[in-house]
Chains A and B, each alone.
Chain A
Amino acid sequence: MSELPNSSPDALPAIDKENRLVLIQREALAFVPSGVSPAPRASAKNGYYELPMLKEPSWTWEIPLYFFVGGAAGGAGVIATVAQFSGASPDLVWDARRLSLAGAFLSPVLLISDLGRPERFLAMLRVFKPQSPMSVGVWVLMGFSAGTSTANLGEWLAARGRFETLAKLMQIVGDLGALVFGLPLATYTGVLIGATVIPVWNRNVSLLPVHFAASGLNAAVGLLEIAGHRTPALQWLGMGSAIAETGIGVMIETRSDPAEEPLKRGPSGWLIRLGGVLSGPVPLALRAISLFSKRGRASKLRRYAAISSVVGSAITRAAWIHAGHVSARQSRPA
């Protein structure tokens, strides 16, 4: 195609015009179909011209980020409440409560940003549909926000020595709310994407809630450690979630279902792997070494483990959403 001279034919001598015709003929011959048409055919195997049967998820980047934020907030809510009732250091309780509060406020912002207009978020608050995980989830988020807000407000009042009995009651009730709603907040997103028609999500409907719970706890522990907390409890929780993430990673790698391919191949596969390694083996190894290290070094190692876990948790959510897109694009009638 680039062989054709770009100048006007009239400006060329006669012999060049003749040569030009030869060039045009050569170019045209390239378009004559030879043998089988290159266009895809409709077939039982490829469906309709290899076009996807399902629609890709329409969610923007805010949704995987919300999965991460909500998961971490839910985990932090559980930690705050358990830490409070087990008599852990008040610093830890307060930071865990603040982390929950931050997550509870950031989550609707992210959701609204995905929806486009604030009043669209309110449309979800006009009904409660138990058969819709999205509806259940939004009410769980509301409950969690109410709980953690109450606990934080109670703490704020208590710190100023005002309404002491009320402040104490608010902390207890608020913490319980954060626990009761924090547990589903850290897990429901697994049901949300598992109970869809997207094959790769659907096949993992029983794995995803466990996976996301471990990921959320990992992130919550990591964020609290980054904030400077070094209690043994956080170390054990970090260890536990890293072990769970390692196990889940091995499980994903060793299964062989064609629908699971987006979890193993291509960019989405590598993203899953990266998230898995950063959430599982890396923090697990760092934490294990830290157990046998001197205090200063151990603290530093736990910090690295924490950073790795937080980044890994965020990547894991993005990777699963990405895998869903790939899975939808690959969908054929079967």
Chain B
Amino acid sequence: MTTSAFLTDSTLCIGCKACEVACKEWNGVAADGLDWSGLSYDNTLSLGARTWRHVKFVEGIPEAGKGGNDPASSPWNFSSDVCKHCQTAGCLEACPTGALVRTEFESVYLQSDVCNGCGYCVVSCPFGVVEKDVEDGRAFKCTFCYDRQKAGLTPACAKVCPTESIQFGELQDLRERADRRLTELRRRGVEDASIYDPVDSAVNGTHAIFIVRGDQKMYNLPPNPEVPTQYLRTGWTSAAIAAGALLAGTLLAFMGSGGKKI
């Protein structure tokens, strides 16, 4: 069993959005509007039910040396975002129907024919990836091109990427490749590059890792993504105490008053 993964190298991304287009074409995902957001060249704004690859156009606060020769111009990075396919996935734990499953490629796959649109995965994803399609009524997210992987093909986004910013492969290989790339970037003087791979968080690492420049929070990448399951013990303990109090109180009220009517 292999662990498929994406390594998305933002330092190579040219913001062409070919990955968004390829994803939509291959997976038959509907258009998600033609509204201008006014936020750089990003008009899809986030991953969602109809955006499974999303190119961020990250314009930061101007800082001398980061935005080219003009000290007043802002650093501008592109980064193609995608479902992280967490090692411990909040959505998968939360799903009450079993629609979300772990595939033989270790990816998290949402079976649309089982999904009932309860929306519990939506509030269980620490990355804000999975979303309920209001028209369809079910939740959708990146499939990691499960159908293509089954046939031995590369996911559509990785295949079309013209700069190999999106790389597809085995997780450990890609982690090593990311380390080598980071060393290379540092050697070239790109001091602000870093790898996003939250291994030491509740998700126990993701199957989509990223190389980004600047603060990772600028990319809306949480430093410490949480899996809601970790709060179950606290929640159920509290529920047990509440239930105990409810029962004790009711018993006390009825036994104490003899249940008689005034």
Number of A-B residue pairs with CB-CB distance less than 8 Å in the complex they form: 266
Q: A70 in the interface, Cβ–Cβ < 8 Å?
A: no
Minimum CB distance partner of A211 in chain B: B242
Picked from B125, B218, B229, the residue with its CB within 8 Å of the CB of A55 is B125
Q: B34 in the interface, Cβ–Cβ < 8 Å?
A: no
How far, in angstroms, from A51 to B220 measured CA to CA in the complex? 8
- Least CB distance from A71 to B in Å reads 11
**Given A51-B45, A138-B96, A196-B124, CB of A206 within 8 Å of CB of B117:** no
Q: Establish whether residues A86 and B254, one from each chain, have CB atoms under 8 Å apart when the complex forms.
A: yes
Picked from B40, B246, B258, the residue with its CB within 8 Å of the CB of A186 is B246
Q: Establish whether residues A237 and B231, one from each chain, have CB atoms under 8 Å apart when the complex forms.
A: no
Q: Chain B residues near A196: list those with CB within 8 A.
A: 94, 120, 123-124, 228
How far, in angstroms, from A197 to B122 measured CA to CA in the complex? 9
Binds A, one of B7-15, B58-66, B142-150, B167-175: B58-66
Q: Establish whether residues A233 and B94, one from each chain, have CB atoms under 8 Å apart when the complex forms.
A: no
Q: Chain A residues near B125: list those with CB within 8 A.
A: 54-55, 197
Binds B, one of A129-137, A152-160, A260-268: A129-137
How far, in angstroms, from A55 to B234 measured CA to CA in the complex? 24
Q: B163 in the interface, Cβ–Cβ < 8 Å?
A: no
Q: Chain B residues near A82: list those with CB within 8 A.
A: 247, 250-251, 254
Picked from A52, A129, A210, A213, the residue with its CB within 8 Å of the CB of B128 is A52
How far, in angstroms, from A78 to B253 measured CA to CA in the complex? 12
Q: Chain A residues near B98: list those with CB within 8 A.
A: 126-127, 129
Q: B260 in the interface, Cβ–Cβ < 8 Å?
A: yes
- Least CB distance from A117 to B in Å reads 8
Q: Establish whether residues A232 and B122, one from each chain, have CB atoms under 8 Å apart when the complex forms.
A: no
Picked from B93, B128, B234, the residue with its CB within 8 Å of the CB of A206 is B234
How far, in angstroms, from A202 to B124 measured CA to CA in the complex? 10
Q: Establish whether residues A47 and B217, one from each chain, have CB atoms under 8 Å apart when the complex forms.
A: yes
Binds B, one of A17-25, A38-46, A162-170, A309-317: A38-46
How far, in angstroms, from A89 to B252 measured CA to CA in the complex? 16
Binds B, one of A2-10, A270-278, A326-334: A326-334
Minimum CB distance partner of B241 in chain A: A210
- Least CB distance from B220 to A in Å reads 4
Q: Establish whether residues B93 and A127, one from each chain, have CB atoms under 8 Å apart when the complex forms.
A: no
The 0/1 profile, CB within 8 Å of A marked 1, for residues 101-121 of chain B is 000000000000011111110
Q: Establish whether residues A132 and B94, one from each chain, have CB atoms under 8 Å apart when the complex forms.
A: yes
Q: Chain A residues near B246: list those with CB within 8 A.
A: 75, 78, 183, 186-187, 213, 217
**Given A127-B98, A236-B256, CB of A121 within 8 Å of CB of B261:** no
Q: A240 in the interface, Cβ–Cβ < 8 Å?
A: yes
- Least CB distance from A29 to B in Å reads 20
Minimum CB distance partner of A179 in chain B: B247
Q: Establish whether residues A115 and B238, one from each chain, have CB atoms under 8 Å apart when the complex forms.
A: no
Q: A124 in the interface, Cβ–Cβ < 8 Å?
A: yes
Q: Chain A residues near B71: list those with CB within 8 A.
A: none
Q: Establish whether residues B220 and A53, one from each chain, have CB atoms under 8 Å apart when the complex forms.
A: yes
> Which of B95, B241, B250 counts the most A-chain CB atoms under 10 A from its CB?
B250
Interface size grouping (class) on chain B: 35 or more
Residues from 223 to 244 in B contacting A, C-beta threshold 8 Å: 223-224, 226, 228-229, 231-232, 234-239, 241-243
How far, in angstroms, from A328 to B220 measured CA to CA in the complex? 13
Q: Establish whether residues A202 and B215, one from each chain, have CB atoms under 8 Å apart when the complex forms.
A: no
Q: Chain A residues near B60: list those with CB within 8 A.
A: 41-43
Q: B38 in the interface, Cβ–Cβ < 8 Å?
A: yes
Q: B195 in the interface, Cβ–Cβ < 8 Å?
A: no
Q: Establish whether residues A127 and B259, one from each chain, have CB atoms under 8 Å apart when the complex forms.
A: no
Q: B31 in the interface, Cβ–Cβ < 8 Å?
A: no
Q: Chain B residues near A69: list those with CB within 8 A.
A: none
- Least CB distance from A127 to B in Å reads 4
How far, in angstroms, from A232 to B258 measured CA to CA in the complex? 9
- Least CB distance from B121 to A in Å reads 9
How far, in angstroms, from A59 to B132 measured CA to CA in the complex? 9
Q: Establish whether residues B235 and A123, one from each chain, have CB atoms under 8 Å apart when the complex forms.
A: no
Q: Establish whether residues B261 and A194, one from each chain, have CB atoms under 8 Å apart when the complex forms.
A: no
Minimum CB distance partner of A88 in chain B: B259
- Least CB distance from A112 to B in Å reads 10
Minimum CB distance partner of B126 in chain A: A197
Q: Establish whether residues A237 and B249, one from each chain, have CB atoms under 8 Å apart when the complex forms.
A: yes
Q: A306 in the interface, Cβ–Cβ < 8 Å?
A: no
Minimum CB distance partner of B123 in chain A: A196
Q: Establish whether residues B231 and A205, one from each chain, have CB atoms under 8 Å apart when the complex forms.
A: yes
Q: Establish whether residues B238 and A210, one from each chain, have CB atoms under 8 Å apart when the complex forms.
A: yes
Residues from 99 to 141 in A contacting B, C-beta threshold 8 Å: 114-117, 120-121, 123-124, 126-127, 129, 131-135, 138
Q: Establish whether residues B238 and A206, one from each chain, have CB atoms under 8 Å apart when the complex forms.
A: yes
Q: Chain A residues near B261: list those with CB within 8 A.
A: 89, 92, 230-231
How far, in angstroms, from A138 to B98 measured CA to CA in the complex? 14
Q: Establish whether residues B97 and A190, one from each chain, have CB atoms under 8 Å apart when the complex forms.
A: no
- Least CB distance from B1 to A in Å reads 22
Not counting A129-B98, A183-B243, a sample of 6 additional A-B residue pairs whose C-beta atoms are within 8 angstroms of each other reads A58-B119, A87-B258, A89-B261, A126-B114, A132-B93, A195-B231
B interface vs A, CB < 8 Å?
38-40, 42, 45-46, 48, 56, 58-61, 74, 90, 93-99, 114-120, 122-132, 134, 137, 139, 215-224, 226, 228-229, 231-232, 234-239, 241-243, 245-247, 249-262
Can you give 5 contacting A-B residue pairs, CB < 8 Å? A59-B119, A133-B232, A134-B95, A213-B245, A331-B128
